[in-house]
Amino acid sequence: MIPLVPASLLVSPLIWRNVCPLATLDLWSNGRLARTQQSRRFAAWSGALGMVLLVALVPARRFLFNTNGPALAATIVIVALLALALGAAFDMKAGFCNALCPILSVERLYGQSPLLHVSNARCASCSLCSHACIDLAPEKAIAQHIGPSRRTISWLGSPFGVFAGAFPGFVFGYFTIEDVSLAAADAVYFHVLGWAALGYLLTLAIVSLLRLSYDRALMALAALAAGLYYWFGAPGIAEGLGLAAGGNALRFPALTLVLVWWWRAERRAFRRRVRT
Ligand code: SF4
């Protein structure tokens, strides 16, 4: 079911965040040792570390996790223990889900303009444990996370700006290389990170030339990354789900969802601009 998660994030990031097993572990041990809340500094560096984890772990599927079950299982156990330990030391989701989780940046990017309102089933009442919490306000989470730099092109130099600008290229890089042996790990990182770097430079050029605001640029980047993911990934997902009609049976509905999401997000952003 994991390949369907990106589409669910476009509908609402709360769908996944309400059922994510790592969030369950984080909240299961919630505050057993301490109830530390996030400082702004902790939120910034832990978020950046989460992005580094994502960039390290996803390409590793190509030379390790896609073919080596024990290695994948061991990694899942380590991440699960991390969620438990950080959950015990911090209040609510402040230690893992809203900090170190490798998927958090993707949740922020795809969840910036949800199609549906979904309630937060995890927090009975809000203790304001975290900065820029997606569960509280998905539409505002990126602006709160980036801060005032969003008003100029300097937002593209923030850790989240670099991640978002490079993400479509990262997705393209992942899908344009085959599974290889462990010995070819460096070639995989060179390929995927090379495309990510090229994607970032293209983003930088286009945003500068067209003078795109941060919100319009992020909507386009999210739509492009999700579109690339389903264009390339749909055949494998359809096979995994046993859909007899093949890749196109999933590719076109997924791309339609992405386009509808982008159109709705642009329309909302336009209304916001008119109001202000
Ligand atoms: S909704 Fe409130 S308590 Fe729950 S994770 Fe977000 S900031 Fe923390």
Residues within a 6 A CB radius of ligand 1? 92-93, 98, 120, 123, 126-130, 133, 135-136
Distance from residue 92's CA to the centre of ligand 1 (Å): 7
* Structure letter (DSSP) for residue 38: P
**Nearest to 17, CA basis, from 128, 84, 108:** 108
Q: Do residues 84 and 31 make contact, with C-beta atoms less than 8 angstroms apart? A: no
Which ligand 1 atom minimizes the distance to the CA of 136? 1
Which ligand 1 atom minimizes the distance to the CA of 128? 7
Distance from residue 120's CA to the centre of ligand 1 (Å): 9
Which residue's CA is the closest to the ligand 1 atom numbered 4?
Answer: 123
User: Residue 198 corresponds to which tokens in the numbers above?
Assistant: 């090229």
Segment-wise mean pLDDT, segments of 10 residues, the chain, 276 residues: 91 97 95 91 94 97 96 96 96 95 97 96 93 93 92 94 98 97 97 98 97 96 97 88 76 94 95 85
Which ligand 1 atom minimizes the distance to the CA of 120? 1
Distance from residue 23's CA to the centre of ligand 1 (Å): 12
Residue with tokens 């950046």: 48
Q: In angstroms, what CA-CA distances link 111 with 11, 103, 268?
A: 8, 12, 14
**Nearest to 145, CA basis, from 97, 98, 100:** 98
Domain boundaries, the chain: 2-275
pLDDT of residue 31: 84
Q: What is the pTM of this model?
A: 0.94
Q: Do residues 80 and 138 make contact, with C-beta atoms less than 8 angstroms apart? A: no
pLDDT of residue 240: 82
Distance from residue 128's CA to the centre of ligand 1 (Å): 5
Given ligand 1 and candidates 90, 98, 126, which is best to mutate, with the most ligand atoms within 8 Å of its CB? 126
pLDDT of residue 179: 95
pLDDT of residue 99: 95
Which residue's CA is the closest to the ligand 1 atom numbered 2?
Answer: 126
* Structure letter (DSSP) for residue 46: H
Alpha helices in 39-158 (DSSP H): 40-60, 69-89, 104-110, 138-146
pLDDT of residue 187: 97
The angle formed by the CA atoms of residues 194, 196 and 199, to the nearest 5 degrees, is 110
Distance from residue 35's CA to the centre of ligand 1 (Å): 13
